[in-house]
Amino acid sequence: MQQFVRAKLHGIRVTGADLNYHGSITLDPETCRRAGLDPLEFVEIWNKNSGARISTYVLYGVPGSKCCVLNGAAARTCQVGDEVIIASSTFGALDDMIASSPTVLTFGPGNEVAEELRYRVFRNERGEPDMTIEQDGGVVPIRELVG
């Protein structure tokens, strides 16, 4: 069994931090559903501004709010306006990953979705694992994304 990315929100901005709430991260359910994040699902959060890395679980907030609120102890890891990466994972064999295509959403100001990407894993002509990143049905050169 290996651990693989299942869904990812890249560059979503923190809209709030509530130290006195009972833990977790509160996200807009519309955003979560689009990416494939479920309520109470455990996620990793990486703060692009501070480098902080935490693990917590998802709570659904108000639909359409575009919220990203770190609660409880997680509130100490961020400031409003910080960009974070939120990723969920799953366990399985490589063939399980090949059968899936995780959604990656990137964000602009106001937490509007800027891009919807798909990670596609496959076996190349030698049978080795390989991947592409797809957007709007086309392949995005990985070097363009790695900049």
Which residues are marked as active site? 24, 57
In order, the DSSP letters of 91-139 are EE-HHHHHH---EEEEE-GGG-EEEEEEEEEEE-TTS-EEEEEEETTEE
Beta bridge partners of 122: 130
Largest CA distance in the chain: 54
In order, the DSSP letters of 67-96 are -EEEEGGGGGG--TT-EEEEEEEEEE-HHH
Residue ranges at the known binding site: 56, 72-74
Residue ranges at the known binding site for substrate: 56, 72-74
